Amino acid sequence: MSNDLTRRSFVKWGTAAAGAATLAGFTGCAPSGQENAQKEGLSDTGDAPAEETGAWLTGACMNNCSCGSSRCLLKVYVEDGVPLKIRTDEQDEDSIEVPQRRACPRGRAQVSNMTSPARIKYPMKRKGWSPDNPNGGMRGKDEWERISWDEALDYIAAEMKKAYDNYGPRSILCAGYDDIGDTYFDPVVCLLNVMGGAVHHDMGTVSLGSWPLPEMLMTGGMLAAPDSLAVQDSQLHFHFGNNWMANKGGNTAYQLDYAKREGGKVIIVEPWLNQTAQAVADEWVPIVPGTDTAFCIGMAYHMIENNLQDQAFLDKYCVGFDAERMPEGADPKDNFKDYVLGTYDKEPKTPEWAEAICGVPAADIRRLAEEIAGTEKVNFFAGQSTTKIPAGEMFAQAFYTLAMMHGGLGTPGNYASWVGLHEGMSATPYCMAGDSSNGAGKNPVNPLTPPLLMSTPNWVEIEDPASWEKIDHSECWQSILEGAYGRDVWPGGKKPIDIHVIYSGAYQNSLNSLPNANAGIEVFRKVDFVWGANPFFDPSRQYCDIVLPVATWWEKGNIAWMNNSDTVYWADRIMEPLFESQPEGYIAEELAKRFDVDPSAANTMTDAERTYSSLSGAMYMTDHDTMAYAPLLTVSQADIDELGVDGEPQEGLMTVAEFKERGFFKIPRTKGDALTSVPYKAFYADPEANPLATSTGKFEIYCAGLAAYINSVGFSTISPIAKWQIGDPEQGAGTQTEEFPLLLWTPHSLRRAHTVNDNVVSLREAFPQECFMSVVDAEARGIETGDLVLMTSPHGKVLRPAKVLPTIVPGAVALQDGAWLRIDEESGIDLGGDPNILQAPKSSGEASQSWTGTLVQVEKYDGPLTLDPDKNTPIVMPVGIEE
């Protein structure tokens, strides 16, 4: 099954794998002359033109940056089937109406990523594993041996059958994406559904924090945000936890800067003077991580004390602000105003009270409250991570309440959102590609389809509690070790769990990505059988018994796809699958044959059908208010015949040939056009005729439904109004101890998109994984920049170089998310810098992860271990394989 390469192609591929990042991956950081030279085909020195005998193709950048808000345009130069260099979007003149989709360093390093030495080349088996003796304790330590595809698939089918026969489908953990909307990524998941299903670790939210339910139940909205042109109407942009430059890349920071140049002031509240705050903000407000709730409540006190709130807006459009306008059946004493004033609990939530918690001086809290109240049009924004704290719904409630006290929601320039400029993740994309998923049946282990963005059990609507079978992300590993998950308040109490087989696939690196990774390693070593499928030998695949090499998106391609809400891309097939890599559809079909299952039941669409579906279903919005869409592409009968599929011709804006040649479609915009997004506009215009989709039809500052739902799930207990709530032990501001006095938070890095790209040497060099800490905390420990420090929590230890900064609040340390773990087996210390080694395995609220606020200690390290610079650290490769 291996792919033949000519000697010339192989030499070129080797060159690309070794150093393409230097030539192509870093064009985003290169001087403009060098980048232009690469566009024109010049040598990397610019001395002489290099003859181009290949072709420039459109390559998918499938990095999932900050919940999918990027995936920018790549143009890949391919010669003899080998990708050699990259450029990005330069076809349109850059403008705020139709911005270029320029890739960030992560996207521009994709040649190095796709041709990385970390690629899994062929099926492999752990030497110490056999069907009769799994020898699980050697997972992650054992040597490997090469086997054939048939051997690997036979082993996997036999072990899966054994688990299904002896223990049933609830004994299988699918450590990959579930079957709602993501099946094109991995038809193997569809096969598991056909076989009876599997347990998934996808209850609650990972990226979204605690935002979904407060937004839905307090405002009736869902991913409601202004667009990049509408936001220019705002005079003040008051942002919590924004670092779009690092997590989204793309154009969001550019659009915010443009809004600033149009007259808006930008204030960013954040523990770190990060890249975005440095470049765009007029003011940085440093704050202790996870204390934004107290900060908002302190501002609310000053506004109430001085009658600065928009009382008319609160009276007409909201319920729960004061005793006079509480929803029916609620105790009038439970209103937000009396809580803030301390009317009944005798604790006024003054700016001084807030300062003691959040670290922002009381004078600044008063000044900022007055600035908000005195500005007519305010754009409130909060990053997703701001609610990744214990009882994160409390901050979401405080955030929306502050915006409602300012008033004007539903009018141009007044917004409150957490998804950011209508980018990427949006309930109303401006254009989209057609569905190219498998369309397979639901997971029989959990056939329920929860409301969008709600993946926790709603016991009121579930007649059979036994039908719910999802483990939450945060407590997954500990629950498997303990044999039970959930909460005692669930019908029947906690649910038993007995996992015997783990499938690690679907591009998920869950061993690396979920809290308490040490417990995850213990789980991987405990079960009967672990198999994985992925392009790269990342940590989740390093702890398997059998691994299969999967083709990358560049090796599949030939599909229209979208992520940014205003762009649809065409993805060419850039290269043939390297070595013995195969797409997931091949794996699913071959396993299906061994299970005596119709292969088409697992891989329900051919590649040609996926291509056709993505093209024919591509749409663009014509009017935002009516949500009207029209076909994007003209698909001719000749196009259909060329693909060899059944289909109907249609008329659109551009032909398929034009779309493929250009590589993308970007919807043209003008300020104030029919696509302008002003959330809640109809409600503001006529609240009686256009009530919100909330229990009262109004904005709910007192939201009984939210509290009832969160409390019934049992991951934490919250109030119907926003209150400051101290976290659980080991988690959150206010719970620090002498042993663990620091708060950990995990910002994004331009080195990775979550865990993707951590195998790229050039990105490792440019963005080393360091322990960020304040000058105050470092001096108290005798630590200087570059010193090795040992980061310790109740759950693990990480060794990293320190980066001492005057721009981080004292009492907090940061370790950027996604670094591939690398455990020193003798000491148990992680040398890779994975923050999930330290993270507390505790869910909160709607089963969200409480990333921010795990308690840690940082000390100068004087032990025997050493660390090379990240750029010199070898990529972990399967030991024992003979090339």
pLDDT reported for residue 449? 57
Q: Are residues 561 and 648 in the same domain?
A: yes
The domain that holds 469 is classified in CATH as: 3.40.50.740
Query: 778 in a domain, yes or no?
Result: yes
Rounded Cα–Cα distance for residues 739 and 794 (Å): 10
Q: Are residues 401 and 311 in the same domain?
A: yes
Share of the chain above pLDDT 70, in %: 90
Q: Is the pLDDT of residue 179 over 60?
A: no
Q: Are residues 565 and 602 in the same domain?
A: yes
**How far does the chain reach from its first CA to its final CA, in angstroms?**
17
The domain that holds 707 is classified in CATH as: 3.40.228.10
Query: 774 in a domain, yes or no?
Result: yes
Read off the tokens for 560: 């229209």
Query: 790 in a domain, yes or no?
Result: yes
Average pLDDT over residues 504-509: 86
Average pLDDT over residues 642-654: 95
Helical ranges in 195-291 per DSSP H? 212-214, 244-247, 252-261, 275-280
Specify the range with the lowest mean pLDDT, choosing from 444-453, 482-491, 706-715. Answer: 444-453
Last residue of a domain, one of 69, 88, 114: 114
pLDDT interval class at 454 (50, 70, 90): low
Q: Crossing angle for the helix pair 187-194 and 584-594, nearest 10 degrees?
A: 20
Average pLDDT over residues 328-341: 97
Q: Are residues 163 and 218 in the same domain?
A: no
Query: Alpha-carbon torsion 586, 591, 592, 596, what sign?
Result: positive
Q: Under a CB-based contact definition with an 8 Å cutoff, are residues 691 and 382 in contact? A: no
Instruction: Write the pLDDT tens digit of every residue in 689-709.
Output: 999 999 999 999 999 999 999
Q: Is the pLDDT of residue 866 over 80?
A: yes
Query: 687 in a domain, yes or no?
Result: no
What's the number of domains the chain is made of? 4
Strand, helix or coil for residue 378: strand
pLDDT interval class at 654 (50, 70, 90): very high
Instruction: Write the pLDDT tens digit of every residue in 588-639.
Output: 999 999 999 999 988 888 999 999 999 999 999 898 888 899 999 999 999 9
Give me the DSSP letters along 547-609: EEEB--HHHH--EEEE-STTEEEEE---SPPPTT-B-HHHHHHHHHHHTT--HHHHS-S-HHH
Rounded Cα–Cα distance for residues 479 and 231 (Å): 44
Rounded Cα–Cα distance for residues 559 and 573 (Å): 9
Instruction: Write the pLDDT tens digit of every residue in 526-537.
Output: 999 999 999 999
List beta partners, residue 467: none
Average pLDDT over residues 297-326: 98
Adjacency order of strands within the sheet including 82-88:
55-60, 73-79, 82-88
Rounded Cα–Cα distance for residues 705 and 655 (Å): 49
Query: 681 in a domain, yes or no?
Result: no
Q: Are residues 792 and 858 in the same domain?
A: yes
pLDDT reported for residue 37? 39
Rounded CA Rg of the chain: 27
Between these two residues, 752 and 302, which has the higher pLDDT value? 302
Rounded Cα–Cα distance for residues 348 and 361 (Å): 17
Q: Are residues 105 and 136 in the same domain?
A: no
Query: 184 in a domain, yes or no?
Result: yes
pLDDT interval class at 754 (50, 70, 90): confident
Q: Are residues 374 and 513 in the same domain?
A: no
pLDDT reported for residue 116? 93
Share of the chain above pLDDT 90, in %: 68
Matching residue, tokens 């059979």: 464
Q: Is the pLDDT of residue 455 over 90?
A: no
> Among residues 604, 631, 600, which one has the least CA distance to residue 616?
631
pLDDT reported for residue 422? 58
Q: Are residues 85 and 145 in the same domain?
A: no
Q: Is the pLDDT of residue 659 over 70?
A: yes
Rounded Cα–Cα distance for residues 406 and 563 (Å): 33
Q: Crossing angle for the helix pair 393-406 and 292-305, nearest 10 degrees?
A: 30
User: How much is the pTM?
Assistant: 0.92
Q: Is the pLDDT of residue 25 over 70?
A: no
Give the domain extent around 68.
Answer: 7-114
Q: Are residues 43 and 177 in the same domain?
A: no
Last residue of a domain, one of 57, 82, 114: 114
Q: Are residues 410 and 445 in the same domain?
A: no
Q: Is the pLDDT of residue 450 over 80?
A: no
Query: 684 in a domain, yes or no?
Result: no
Query: 119 in a domain, yes or no?
Result: no
Contacts of residue 763, Cβ cutoff 8 Å, sequence gap at least 6: 21, 25, 105, 106, 109, 750, 751, 752, 757
Q: Are residues 511 and 644 in the same domain?
A: yes
Instruction: Write the pLDDT tens digit of every residue in 133-162.
Output: 999 999 999 999 999 999 999 999 999 999
pLDDT reported for residue 504? 95
Average pLDDT over residues 662-674: 89
Rounded Cα–Cα distance for residues 521 and 600 (Å): 35
Rounded Cα–Cα distance for residues 202 and 445 (Å): 13
Instruction: Write the pLDDT tens digit of every residue in 233-277.
Output: 999 999 999 998 888 766 888 889 999 999 999 999 999 999 999
Average pLDDT over residues 491-512: 92
Q: Is the pLDDT of residue 370 over 60?
A: yes
Q: Where are the beta strands (DSSP E) in 295-454?
A: 318-319, 378-382, 415-417, 431-432
Q: Under a CB-based contact definition with an 8 Å cutoff, are residues 515 and 840 in contact? A: yes
Rounded Cα–Cα distance for residues 676 and 685 (Å): 16
Q: Which helix (H) or strand (E) holds 693?
A: none
Q: Is the pLDDT of residue 498 over 80?
A: yes
List beta partners, residue 753: 756
Q: Are residues 620 and 479 in the same domain?
A: yes
pLDDT interval class at 448 (50, 70, 90): low
Last residue of a domain, one of 71, 87, 114: 114
Average confidence score pLDDT of the chain = 88
pLDDT interval class at 482 (50, 70, 90): very high
Specify the range with the lowest mean pLDDT, choosing from 443-447, 703-707, 771-775, 858-862. Answer: 443-447
